Structure 1
Amino acid sequence: MSHSHNHVHIHKHEVEGKNLVFSIILNLLITAAQVVGGLISGSLALISDALHNFSDVISLVFSYVAHKLSRRKASINNTFGYKRAELIAAFVNAFTLLLVAIYLGYEAILRFFHPEPIKSGMVIWLAILGIVVNGSSVLLLKKDADHNLNMKSAYLHLLTDMMASVAVLVGGLLMKFYGWFWVDGVMTLLISIYLIYVGFDLLKSSTKMLMLFTPEHIDIKEIVREVHKIPGVGKLHHIHVWHLNEEELHLEAHLDCAENILMSEFNDLLHELEIVLFTKFGINHINIQPEFKKEDPKDFIVQD
């Protein structure tokens, strides 16, 4: 029995960790300003925005550490390195988004039934500051978020912060000109609902990757059909397809050869298979166990 582990490498977007550092500094400043402003003005929406900002600071720090860990080289004790660290960070960040959302929703409902007078002028100016700071952070991470789930989790934290600041600004203006203090609770509730929406989607995506689920865009049966078109292939079975991280899509399988070929001939066959899997499915790490008339289950998916 022999194994072949082949890699097809592609040019990938290099994520800049320094953008996270800038975002951390900016969010620390706005968090401090909003806490002071919220206490002075009595605005729950402002306090909730500050709480969310602080959770962002923690999430951004966590994302930065995970980003650095993921760049460490593999070793004898860590044969994959720390490549899944960013998936863990994305999962934790998504989970904290949901926790913050639930807490804010609870507080918003209480405030809605018991509205309190709020110094709307301070709320307005701090909301504008929040929009500027969070908007800047969002722009810093936008490009990285398109290529990395960890960065996307940090980006979503900041994007929802910016939207929260916009909601706080609208609420502050309504309170200033119309005296609608109940708007503070309503805006906070809307913020929490949106956080639940984006947080759950991110939590689902990161969980699927951590659980090694087959990626949604991959059709196992289609892979088998394409591989079976290659001359010399008998049957592809015992198939596993998973994301190690967002950059590496792995396939592991047994390949029943049509003939009792030499290993050098199998290398050529494997090269063809490698090209098909990469060009048609984006699979860039392949581990194939060659077989010939071996007595074992030949189902596509077999519980090992």
Structure 2
Amino acid sequence: MSADTDRRWLTLALALIGAFMAGEVVVGIIARSLALLSDAAHMLTDAGAIVLALIAMRLAARAPKGGFTYGLKRAEILSAQANGLTMLLLAAWLGYEAVRRLIDPPPVAGQLVLITALVGVFVNIAAAWAMSRANRSSLNVEGAFQHVLNDLYAFVATAIAGVVMVTTGFARADGIATLVVVVLMVKAGLGLIRESGRIFLEAAPAGFDPAALGAEIVAMDEVVEVHDLHVWQITSGQPALSAHVLVVPGGDCHAVRGRIEELLRSRHHLTHSTLQVDHCAVGEPAGHCDDAHGLAYRAAAATPPGAASG
């Protein structure tokens, strides 16, 4: 799917959310409903998340130049992290207001809350459908999608609160619905911050085991040792690898590199790799690099995870 197609779907979702949000603010003030105002505030962050996603997509599409050798691909990860942070900050404020209303609930127009929430459910279903058509393997798009999906859950909770207030007059249902929204926002916000943080800290992609890969490489013919093995993500969906590989004296470095690249491509879907392949020093392969860091994997007796490198 092209970036232009992704932008069209995101723009459609933004138009739906923006139009409904303006009306919801007016109704929320008239109905004196914190649940509706919290939904509107959440929709504002939805709109902001989509705008950030659209801007980040344009920045990430720029060609590398100057000191930015990867271009601005991580602008998308900055956007995802900003989405997560705004969700947590908004959740903190809404949580405080919800508890305050549970203690001293003001009168709420339950019918207005119910009608608006039901309309909000349909609007968010349409927006979520539009965003699901975009490339959700991008953490940037996924972050904006999570905003909209959480808003959908929030409107369902608000609609239930509206039914309770209309049928029983229990005004505290408004605050309880808001707390449900808060829990969902915290869960989604922490998930976005955790995933974007992994990319910024250049951790291996989730579910990827560098130690198992190191052991796999040293099991290949002619390979004696692998060190300085690093696996990270340039941006979401773009993993990269670099490693220093030592082969037996007289071994074919070019053939070994080709076999490793084929292994990375076919079995691990790693197509961006930088491999330095050298002959090891006779009798002392670990002495090849004085400043090697990270784990070292050796063919004679594979170094277990946690062992120091040479």
Q: Scaled by the length of structure 2, what TM-score is found?
A: 0.88
Deviation larger for 265-274 or 194-203? 265-274
The letter of the residue matching 1:269 is V
Q: 2:271: which partner in 1? A: 284
The 5-angstrom pairing of residues 46-57 of structure 1 reads 46-57=36-47
Indicate the residue corresponding to 2:305 in structure 1.
none
Q: What code does the residue aligned with 1:17 have? A: R
| Residue equivalent to 1:69 | 59
C-alpha contact 1:236 1:254 (8 A) present in aligned 2: yes
Counterpart in the other structure of 1:300? 295
Task: Provide the C-alpha distance between the structure 2 equivalents of 1:54 and 1:241, rounded to a whole number of angstroms.
Answer: 37
Once the two structures are superposed, the pairs formed by residues 118-267 of structure 1 within 5 Å of their partners are 118-144=108-134, 146-260=136-250, 265-267=252-254
Amino acid at match of 1:291: D
Task: Output the CA distance in 1 between the equivalents of 2:225 and 2:208.
Answer: 19
Kept in 2, the 8 Å contact 1:33–1:126? The answer is: no
Structure-2 separation of matches of 1:90 and 1:124: 32
SS in structure 1 at match of 2:273? strand
Structure 2 residue identity aligned to 1:212: E
Q: CA deviation at 1:145?
A: 5.6
Deviation at 1:290, TM superposition (A): 2.2
Question: What runs of 5+ residues in structure 1 fail to find an aligned partner?
Answer: 1-12
What's the counterpart of residue 258 of structure 2?
Answer: 271
The aligned counterpart of 2:24 is 34
Aligned length: 289
Aligned CA RMSD, in angstroms, stands at 1.9
Q: Which residue of 2 aligns with 1:9?
A: none
**Structure 1 residue 123: Cα displacement:** 1.3
Q: How much has 1:271 moved relative to structure 2?
A: 1.5
For the residues of structure 2 that align with 1:284 and 1:143, how far apart are their CA atoms?
Answer: 26
Say whether the 8 Å CA contact 2:257–2:277 is kept in structure 1: no
Once the two structures are superposed, residues 80-118 of structure 1 have per-residue CA deviations (whole angstroms, 9 ceiling, x without a partner) of 011111111111101111111111111000011111111
**Structure 1 residues 296 and 82: alpha-carbon distance in aligned structure 2, compared to 1, 3 A threshold:** same
- Which protein has greater RCO, CA pairs closer than 8 Å, 6+ apart? 1
Whole-Å separation in 2 of the counterparts to 1:150 and 1:69: 12
Superposed displacement of residue 269, structure 1: 2.0
Q: Distance in 2 between matches of 1:159 and 1:295?
A: 53
Aligned partner of 1:141: which letter? M
Question: Where does structure 2 lack aligned partners over 5 or more consecutive residues?
Answer: 282-286, 297-307
What letter corresponds to residue 110 of structure 2 in structure 1?
S
2:303 corresponds to: none
Task: Please name the residue that 1:8 is paired with.
Answer: none
Distance, in Å, in 1 between the alignment partners of 2:151 and 2:9 is 17
Choose the corresponding residue for 2:90, options 86, 93, 100. Answer: 100
Distance 2:236 2:61 in 1: 13
How far did 1:143 drift?
4.1
What one-letter code is carried by the residue in structure 1 that aligns with 2:134?
Answer: D
| 2:109 equivalent to 1:109 | no
| Residue type at the aligned position of 1:300 | L
Q: What SS does the corresponding residue of 2:288 show, helix, strand or coil?
A: coil
After TM superposition, the score normalised by the length of structure 1 is 0.89
State which of 85, 107, 131 in structure 1 corresponds to 2:75: 85
Q: What percent identity do the matched residue pairs reach?
A: 27
CA contact (8 A) 1:250 1:286 kept: yes
Mapped to 2, the partners of 1:40 and 1:188 lie a distance apart of 18
Measure the CA separation in 1 of the matches of 2:98 and 2:135.
30
Cα displacement string for residues 229-253 of structure 1 (whole angstroms, at most 9, x for unaligned residues): 3222221111111011122111111
What stretches of structure 1 move > 4 A for 4+ residues in a row? none
